[in-house]
Structure 1
Amino acid sequence: MEGTPFGRYQLIELLGRGGMGEVWRAHDTEIDRVVALKMLLPHFARDPDYETRFRREARAAARLDDPHIVPIYDVGEIDGRLYVTMRLINGTDLQTLINNGPLDPGRAVYIIAQIASALHTAHQAGLIHRDVKPSNILLAPNDFAYLIDFGIARATTDTALTSANTTIGTWAYMAPERFRTGESGPSSDIYALTCVLYQCLTGNLPFPGDTLEQVAVSHMMMPPPRPSQELATVPAAMDPVIATGLAKEPAQRFPTTVELAGAAHRALTYPSGPPGPSGPPGPDPAAPTQLWQQPPAPRKKRTGLILTALAAVVLLVAGGVVATAALTKDDAPTAAPTTTTSASVVPETPPFTGIYQAVFSAPTLIDGGPLDDAKPSTAMWAVRSACRPDGCVAIAERQSGDGGPPMAKLEFDRINDRWVAVALAAEKCHDIADEIWYVFTLRERPNGSLTGDYTGAAGNSCSGRSTLTFNRTTDVDVDTLPDPAELPPRVVSPAEALHGTYRSTRTFRNGVAPIQGDYTVKTDCLRTGDRCMSYFHKPEDFRPLLFTNGTWSLNSQSEGMCDGKVIKITATGQYPMPQPAQKPINLLLGHGNWEESAPCAMTSEFDETFTRTGD
């Protein structure tokens, strides 16, 4: 039997490659048998922590005696490459099977029951697998199932081994507690096996996403999906089984994997009603999940308004994990690696109706500048929309999470091709109580999600911005929400004509040299049209103007530097609406007062002209 020499082995065929190593079909020349040989990639083999964990695979598997666990033959090092050999299974991995479509429920439960037996054996021996996923489940003829890749298994008494910037496990199947604290136990394997069961039944992941951030917040926040709503062939009795297995808290899940498998079997036997799982009752899959609440991050001098943050969302295990990493982390399976795509959820009509997960990026200044201590955040919103002759409107009510504005209700209008909501909240800016203008701007996407921006701006010069995605997760009982069709029509304010780019010329009456600058302005108004915020900004300056009763008002307090010392700056002013009305407004005139504190104390009146320079 020919092949590339590797010590006593001849490497015949590469079967798979992943993030840690390669798996080869190989011939053991000493014993004269064909084996599956897994070796670490060279740069991992040089890491002593990886070496320790890789060698532990053999010790872990060698202690287990279960027909559904692939036995280990040998472990060692050849030419600086760590390797392990195991029985070669002539079959296919479960992921490849799922890629062809969902499994018949009876077949899915049969396979899961075998893996549940393997995991139960491991858990009784004090071992946790920590990477249960379809590509680590091999199927021989007649669907005889094997659980492989105990290379990341560990005893419950062992110290967890992860290197910098690395998390053990695969994101799509990781339990919430592993994202929060990095801790894992038998219940984490139960959660992962439930994810695999759901994927077998529906063909889709329970919590799909394109980035680690999206997947992490989904596992920690989104209610468990109902497989019977995803696919009509799945009995409704399977829904509470999935709900229990995917409970956010470990204590609410099934006590053992075999009890999970038993509950799934009963769901097939009694498809018309809940089977009464032997584990503790799971959460209502439709109920929102409450998150740990954290006080808002403190305001920083001249760093802007932080738009609230939920630190737990991104305190991922093995510090340093990048929240925007694509979901490609995987260890080499015995079978060739495969990719999974999941069908997008298409919203019902009318548009923008359902339960949505709102994912906010780490906020920045309006112009993109950095904010101290900024972190991503998330929230769940129930949304109901309606379209009338005067346009489409929607009402959103917060279900859980503290991402976004600190209010419980938003009213959206569809303006051109975007959904826009403007809301107010009382907060502090530079330690002074102020009114914060929160603005959502969302655009519908073909996959049913909505994406856009979320901004917060205060009349006192604080500001912040996040990118935002509204991911539709499930239907909503519209009768539980107010009817948006009963909202009064939106009033278009004349202040909305103030938009685009403007050149400011501020002339002081005490002889100080005039100040000029080029600004971009965006005006947002309440639905009633009687109040608006026009926010002039450039990288080094902000000019927030509040509009009411036909006049814009400036009233800001900020800080600056003079002679190497911090000074306080107060600016007030009035800018009347031009008469006759202009659309867009090409010239806006105002008058105000400027005051600086010591050591550069000064007080002066000023005149200001805003001249429009473009869109």
Structure 2
Amino acid sequence: MSITIGDQIGDYEVTGTLGVGGMGQVYRVRHTISHRVEALKVLASGRPVTEEIVGRFLREIQLLASLHHPNITALHTAFRHEGELIMIMEFVEGLTLGAKLNASPLMLGTSLNYIQQVLAGLAYAHERKIIHRDVKPSNIMIGNNDQVKLLDFGLAIPALGPEFTRTGTILGSLHYMSPEQVLGEQIDARSDVYSVGVTLYQLVTGRLPFDGPSEYSIANGHLKSEPINPTTINSDLPVRLSEIVLKSLAKSPADRFQTAKDFLGALGTLRSGETTTLVISSHPDRMRNGHPDAEVGFGSSRPEKAVFESSMLEVIVRDLAYHLGPIAKIVVSRAAKRALTLDDLYEMVAAEIGPEERRKTFLAIRRKSSVPK
């Protein structure tokens, strides 16, 4: 649906644009009867809309309708307009945590306050068997009163739903994915715990725990590398806090905090005098080519991406796995969301293969294969 400022959608007048998420675009609207300012979310225009995406958007509406917590953005209503689903949510005046970090360093006490509110919201959702799956700074809104709101439940799943038990599906933001997400394995609340751990690591050190020049190196970091001890980067941090952060980032879910409530309780053991440190200034969402999870402004244009058959992607994963191992699945999955053509897709995934000779070998297999161009 194409929306411009001044349009009227039902009883709502569009007054501004707020951003673009993974599958939706969000506008500021005013209810023409109550005059209340709210946020309107609709599936993004100019992108392929599949049955899966529509289903995911509907699921987000239904999950949010079941959640009522001060640290989760509230759903006000939902309806259909010209055949398209519309979601109306509370409007939060403020900045995302990512934007705040880019603007200025934060006091440690402030950072911990934000994370504690995130964990409180997640604990509530987890108790209702809902897993967020995409916790990151750009999905954490900080209101002008410093109240935290968890945003974008577009990837959230009910823990007993069909997608919960289906392995092989890789969704989320690479820098914040748990190892089990990277491998496309079954996940539970401990995956969200890991993502919060990545965010907390950024807050207290000013850098990501796992980064690199390629998606392969980032994914491999989640699977095999140990993060640098936070106190090595910022010696003013309490040792106990460093231990808490590292526990949240354990490779095995069994070694992490088992619940968001446990994580929250551990942070509560820190003494108030230990939380006055000024956190190192950072740009936490930045990677080699801009911001990996930044929202795209409405004024920008996006060429329409290709839609690839799953059987075709399976062939590419199989060939790429010879060079990258199980991480091939996530590399192909993410590249397929950006590629305009099959040639683009092959070039993108081939770039993740380190040695040039092996890269040429992979591309040569494509030329010999039956995969159509």
Give how far 1:21 is off: 1.9
Structure 1 unpaired stretches of 5+:
273-305, 327-358, 375-615
Q: SS of the counterpart of 2:269?
A: helix
Identity %: 32
Give how far 1:361 is off: 1.9
Give how far 1:18 is off: 3.1
What do the CA deviations read for 1:190-211 (whole angstroms, capped 9, x no partner)?
0001111111212222212343
Q: SS of the counterpart of 1:322?
A: helix
Cα distance between partner residues in 1 of 2:256 and 2:235: 25
Of 39-48 and 359-368, more deviation after overlay is shown by 359-368
Cα distance between partner residues in 2 of 1:320 and 1:106: 38
The verdict on how the C-alpha distance between 1:139 and 1:123 changes in structure 2, with shifts beyond 3 A counting, is: same
Name the structure 1 match of 2:143: 140
TM-score by length of 1: 0.45
Is 1:6 aligned to 2:19, yes or no?
no
Conserved in 1, the CA contact under 8 Å of 2:353 and 2:359? Answer: no
Conserved in 2, the CA contact under 8 Å of 1:10 and 1:28? Answer: yes
Give how far 1:81 is off: 3.5
Name the structure 1 match of 2:335: 322
Name the structure 2 match of 1:426: none
Is 1:28 aligned to 2:31, yes or no?
yes
The verdict on how the C-alpha distance between 1:83 and 1:367 changes in structure 2, with shifts beyond 3 A counting, is: closer
TM-score by length of 2: 0.72
Cα distance between partner residues in 1 of 2:34 and 2:161: 33
Conserved in 1, the CA contact under 8 Å of 2:216 and 2:324? Answer: no
Which of 18, 23, 33 is 2:21 aligned to? 18
Cα distance between partner residues in 2 of 1:252 and 1:60: 29
Give how far 1:160 is off: 2.4
Is 1:185 aligned to 2:208, yes or no?
no
Name the structure 1 match of 2:360: 368
The verdict on how the C-alpha distance between 1:57 and 1:320 changes in structure 2, with shifts beyond 3 A counting, is: closer
Name the structure 2 match of 1:130: 133
Which residue identity does 1:261 align to in structure 2? L
Give how far 1:363 is off: 5.2
Structure 2 unpaired stretches of 5+:
276-319, 340-350, 367-373
Which residue identity does 2:335 align to in structure 1? V
Of 229-238 and 129-138, more deviation after overlay is shown by 229-238
Name the structure 2 match of 1:53: 56
Is 1:114 aligned to 2:117, yes or no?
yes
Cα distance between partner residues in 2 of 1:70 and 1:57: 12
Name the structure 2 match of 1:492: none
Conserved in 2, the CA contact under 8 Å of 1:212 and 1:323? Answer: no
Give how far 1:16 is off: 1.0
Q: Which structure is larger by alpha-carbon Rg, 1 or 2?
A: 1
More helix by share: 2
Conserved in 1, the CA contact under 8 Å of 2:170 and 2:183? Answer: no
Cα distance between partner residues in 1 of 2:83 and 2:185: 30
Q: SS of the counterpart of 1:315?
A: helix
Which of 325, 333, 337 is 1:311 aligned to? 325
Cα distance between partner residues in 2 of 1:367 and 1:361: 6
Q: SS of the counterpart of 1:139?
A: strand
More strand by share: 1
Is 1:220 aligned to 2:233, yes or no?
no
RMSD, aligned α-carbons: 3.2
Is 1:42 aligned to 2:34, yes or no?
no
The verdict on how the C-alpha distance between 1:258 and 1:322 changes in structure 2, with shifts beyond 3 A counting, is: same
Q: SS of the counterpart of 2:63?
A: helix
Cα distance between partner residues in 1 of 2:272 and 2:160: 39
The verdict on how the C-alpha distance between 1:24 and 1:371 changes in structure 2, with shifts beyond 3 A counting, is: closer
What do the CA deviations read for 1:243-290 (whole angstroms, capped 9, x no partner)?
110011111100111221222332455969xxxxxxxxxxxxxxxxxx
